[in-house]
Amino acid sequence: MSLPKDSREAFSRTLEIETRWRRIREVHRQTTLRNATARVGSPSILIFDCQNSESLPGSLVIDPESSCDDTVSRAFTTTRSMVDFCFIVFGLNSIDNAGMTVISSVHYSRAYCNAFWDGRQMTYGDGDGVVLLGFARSNDFIGHELAHGVTQYVCGLEYTGEPGALNESVSDVLGSVFRQWQARQTPLEADWMIGSDLMGPIAIANGWNCVRNLADPQSPNSLTKQPKKYSEYIPGGDVHDNSGIPNHAFYLAATSLSACSWEIMGKVWYSALKASSATTNFKEFAVLTIEAAIRQYPDVHEIAQVVKGAWTHVEVL
C-alpha cells in the first residue's frame, strides 16, 4: 500500500523519536525506587500542552477537565479513570503505589504517531490524521502506556527479549481489562482489540480495525501481525511483536471463565507481575500465574487449570 508523503514522513519521524524515549525510559527503570504507602486522597493528575513542540512537559493546562480541547479533556478524564481502576481493582495508590502525581503531555511534536511512558510521565501524539488519529482518543492505549509505569514500579521488567515482550503484553492486558472495566463488559462481550479508536480513514479503507488483537494476534485486520504460539517466537524480534504470545494466553484464560476479566484473571496476572523480576521470561511468568491462581483461589481448582491450559495452548508450557 502506498501512503501519502506526509504520512511516510510522520512515521519516519515517529521511529526516530521512539529510539530516544526508549533510552530515557530504560534509565528511569534502572533508577526507580520501589515503595508503598497508604492511599491518602486522590493522586494529582496534571495535563500539559506541548503545542506541537518536542519540549516536555509543555505548558500546564489550568482546568483540563473542562477544557474545550477534546484531546486535553480526554487525556485528563481517562487518566483519572485509569488511576481509579488501579486502586479499585489492584489496591494501587497511583502508578507507583505511593501517590505519585500523574503527568501527561498532549499535542507532542507534529503528526507524531505514538504515545509513550518515558519513566516519569505520559506523552501523546496527534497521529498523522489519515492512518492514525490522536492517541488520547483511545482508553485502552492510555491504559496500556500507564501500565508501563505500573510495571516499572512493580518489578521493572527489562525492555528486551522475552521480559520486554512480557512488559508489552502486561500493558496490552491491563489496557484491555481497563477498557472492559469502563464499559462493564464480560470477556465474551469485549472486542479484545488495542487501539481500535485510533484508526484513520486510510487504515479503515484498508480493512485495519486496530493496532493489535489479543483474540487473534495474526488477524489481517490488525496493523501488527504477531506470533500467537511459542513455536512462532521471533528471536531478536521487536517486543511489540512477540507480546502476541502471552497476550493470547491471557485472552484464552479470561474467556474460559464467566467472571469479568478484572474480577479474577486480571488479578491473577497482576499477582504474577508482583512476583516477577526484571528478567522473568515467558515460562517463568506462566508458572507464576498458575501459582497465583492456586494461592488466590485455593478452593476453585478450575481457575489454575484454565490458566495452565491457556499457557499450554500457546506452547509456553
For the annotated catalytic residues, the residue numbers are 145, 240
Quick one: which of 140, 193, 162, 116 has its CA closest to 276?
162
Phi, psi of 127 (to 5 degrees): 70, 175
Peptide bond into 43 cis (omega under 30): no
β-strand partners of 251 = none
Quick one: which of 176, 184, 181, 179 has its CA closest to 253?
176
On whether the CB atoms of residues 203 and 190 are closer than 8 A, the answer is: no
CA–CA distances in Å: residue 123 to residues 109, 141, 192, 237? 10, 12, 24, 25
The C-alpha angle with vertex 263 and arms to 219 and 258, in degrees rounded to 5, equals 65
In a 3-state reduction of DSSP, which class is residue 123?
Answer: strand
Cell 486496530 -> residue: 210
CA–CA distances in Å: residue 253 to residues 94, 95, 150, 205, 246? 27, 25, 22, 33, 11
Q: Burial level of 196, CB count in 10 A (0-12/13-18/19+)?
A: buried
The grid coordinates listed for 292 are: 497465583
How far is Cα 282 from Cα 286, in angstroms, rounded to an integer? 6
On whether the CB atoms of residues 61 and 53 are closer than 8 A, the answer is: no
